A and B are shown apart, each in its own frame.
Chain A
Amino acid sequence: MGKKNPILSQFKSACAICRKDMFIYYLKAPVLIYGLLFPFFLFLAFAIGRDISFESLLPTVLGLSIFFTSSSVGPIIAPWETRMRTLEKLISCPISLEFILLGDILAGFLYGMAVTLILLIFFIPFSVFVMENLFILILGIILSNFCFSCLGILLSSPATDNPSNIMMLSYLVKFPLIFISGVFLPINKLPPLGRLIAKFSPLTYTVDLLRYSSGKDHIYPAAFCLIVLFISIAVFLCIGIFLHRRNLPKRF
């Protein structure tokens, strides 16, 4: 048990938590329904019967998938583990709460990345990406998946042992965001109040980056979008850790 580097050993433990989450939660019904089926049908409802080119759908498809998939794993873990009474055992292990949460975030992130990768492979034959923006696209996808996985962890912070309560809360927050973030309707076509609120949604910047990467009209410079995503990650992480730490004793 000679732990030479505490941070490295904590990170290894976080990876073990992530592996556990992947085995247990990826195939749970709420994750499959809200992470895969829901955005798929939402996309179908938007696209079917409209005269929109396939390339134009790309930011919508990827935006929906990144947003819903990566944020679908986090909300289920804490209430599920509270209900199954496995959390107490986990907390008694030599891993800090921050790294337990990091493991959960990584699980959501990898879930989102896997689904995004499958979609990207599907889109490659249609060559909808401007090749010189590929680096920005990859960076944007990574940051966005991480950001929304952190959002999922933040949403799971209330001390309940009922996953459906958290899923409801989660959709109360996430559902309105897709309508004000330029996923279905470009931001410049939103009313002034909608445009103002859109500035506070990280999804706005994800969709804008995707539009930029596929050579479409975009509003913000790519670097600015990336910085906002970084800031969003920091904010979600800090608030999420604070709330989880505060609510932890109420879970036992």
Chain B
Amino acid sequence: MSERKVRKVWEKIGAKKINKVIEVSRLTKRFGNISAVNQITFNVIRGEIFGFLGPNGAGKTTTQRILTGIIEASSGSASIMGFDIKTQALYAKEQIGVVPEMTNVYVDLSAWDNLMLIGSLYGVSKRIRTTRATELLNLFNLYERKNEKTRVFSKGMKQKLLLCMALVHDPKILFLDEPTTGLDVQSSRLIREKILEFNRRGVSVFLTTHNIAEADQLCNRIAIIDHGKIAIIDKPESLKRAFQSVQAIEVSFSELIKDENELREIKGVNKAQKAGDKFRIYTDNPGELIAHLINFSRQQGLRILSLNTLGPDLEEVFVKITEEHRGWNHGKEKSNIESI
């Protein structure tokens, strides 16, 4: 279908009827013999914040760069609001606002000029981009310094300005790659608040991060990518529930335990870790373990100072999934070698 036809269809059916704002199918990116992204398939639903998590080098940034038209995929397909990213790249790019991972603002230009430049590249009229730039700079507390060259801006201010630049044309989808990495608590909190605010206004968000707490706090759904393959896609709470074995009990005793291995030998303990003056004990059955711990403390003549049950946190889920995924891949590679 020609670009004009696709555009007509899109205008006819209206933006509201497109439910999947990002559709990715068997997307692959190879650098030489290495597959940075390997046949990944997923969708992002209108109005959701979709988290894209993975360890360093998992393929997160490569995926975002393909979807935002910065690099081309080796195979597979993807579309943004119905526009194919390869054949209708410019139309697809019009729908999105991007904050790339390692990008910077133009330090020789003022905050205002940076916004005007990006606004004009998106074809926004001068009147609208002036109004919008004023609104955004006020929203991110940068308006007072709009005429200063951004060379003197802090990292947090630059990141806020980058977010303004991504929003100046009122995009339907926001791509954020590690938006709060390296920022102070206040800046991170402000950026997270604004992401939620724009999401409430109807902007769908594709959030690439390795900050699990941030993903847990912001995302409606999460995809975990490792070694270029998607290991799992689910809601954060569903992921936590699916990994009940990562439930834990945090216990603190009145005195030091002579032999910590005895603690590890208690029935129902999957793993025990010392965490400061406490022990974090992972189990499948917290109720049963509490009874065993009370018996253990009596036998050892110890007093329990505190005992808390911890639900499975996303970080543990993430570690478990990526470890399992690596183990599975490793096993697969091994079995392939054996079969050869």
Taking Cβ atoms with an 8 Å cutoff, the residues of A that contact B are 1, 3, 6, 9-10, 12-13, 16-17, 19-20, 23-24, 84-86, 88-96, 248-249, 252
Q: Which residues of A contact B106 (CB under 8 A)?
A: 20, 24, 84, 86
A91 in contact with B123 given A1-B94, A86-B104, A86-B105 (CB within 8 Å) = no
List 11 additional contacts besides A10-B90, A92-B98; criterion CB under 8 Å.
A3-B123, A13-B121, A19-B117, A23-B108, A24-B106, A84-B107, A85-B102, A85-B104, A92-B100, A93-B93, A96-B90
Interface positions, chain B 150-170, Cβ under 8 Å from A, are 162, 165, 169
Q: Which residues of B contact A24 (CB under 8 A)?
A: 106, 108-109
**Residues A92 and B104 in contact, CB atoms below 8 Å apart:** no
**Residues A1 and B100 in contact, CB atoms below 8 Å apart:** no
- CB of B63 within 8 A of chain A? no
CA of A24 to CA of B150 in the docked complex: distance in angstroms? 13
Query: Which of A13, A90, A95, A252 interacts with B65 by CB under 8 Å?
Result: A252
CA of A94 to CA of B93 in the docked complex: distance in angstroms? 5
**Residues B123 and A9 in contact, CB atoms below 8 Å apart:** yes
**Residues B113 and A88 in contact, CB atoms below 8 Å apart:** no
- CB of B9 within 8 A of chain A? no
CA of A164 to CA of B68 in the docked complex: distance in angstroms? 30
CA of A88 to CA of B118 in the docked complex: distance in angstroms? 13
Q: Which residues of B contact A91 (CB under 8 A)?
A: 69-70
**Residues A94 and B121 in contact, CB atoms below 8 Å apart:** yes
Tier of interface size on chain B? 20 to 34
B292, chain A: closest CB distance, angstroms: 54
- CB of B15 within 8 A of chain A? no
Taking Cβ atoms with an 8 Å cutoff, the residues of B that contact A are 65, 68-72, 89-91, 93-94, 96, 98, 100, 102-109, 113, 117-118, 120-124, 162, 165, 169, 175
Q: Which residues of A contact B169 (CB under 8 A)?
A: 1
Tell me if A's interface is mostly helix, strand, loop or mixed: helix
A14, chain B: closest CB distance, angstroms: 10
**Residues A13 and B123 in contact, CB atoms below 8 Å apart:** yes
**Residues B109 and A12 in contact, CB atoms below 8 Å apart:** no
Query: Quick one: closest A residue to B107, CB to CB?
Result: A84
Name 30 interchain pairs, CB-CB below 8 A, sorted by A.
Answer: A1-B122, A1-B123, A12-B120, A13-B120, A13-B121, A16-B121, A17-B121, A19-B117, A23-B109, A23-B113, A24-B109, A84-B106, A86-B104, A88-B103, A89-B98, A89-B103, A89-B104, A89-B165, A92-B69, A92-B93, A92-B96, A92-B175, A93-B121, A94-B90, A94-B93, A94-B122, A94-B123, A95-B121, A249-B71, A252-B71
A1 in contact with B117 given A24-B108, A252-B70 (CB within 8 Å) = no
Query: Quick one: closest B residue to A25, CB to CB?
Result: B108
Query: Which of A20, A88, A92, A252 interacts with B117 by CB under 8 Å?
Result: A20
Chain A CB within 10 A, most for which of B71, B90, B109: B90
**Residues A20 and B109 in contact, CB atoms below 8 Å apart:** yes
**Residues A6 and B90 in contact, CB atoms below 8 Å apart:** yes
B121, chain A: closest CB distance, angstroms: 4
CA of A215 to CA of B252 in the docked complex: distance in angstroms? 98
Query: Quick one: closest B residue to A93, CB to CB?
Result: B121
**Residues B68 and A92 in contact, CB atoms below 8 Å apart:** yes
Query: Quick one: closest B residue to A4, CB to CB?
Result: B123
Q: Which residues of B contact A20 (CB under 8 A)?
A: 106, 109, 117
Query: Quick one: closest B residue to A248, CB to CB?
Result: B71
**Residues A88 and B102 in contact, CB atoms below 8 Å apart:** yes
Query: Quick one: closest A residue to B61, CB to CB?
Result: A252
B123, chain A: closest CB distance, angstroms: 5
A42, chain B: closest CB distance, angstroms: 28
4 A-B pairs with the lowest CB-CB distances in the bound complex, closest first = A94-B93, A16-B120, A92-B98, A93-B121
B148, chain A: closest CB distance, angstroms: 15
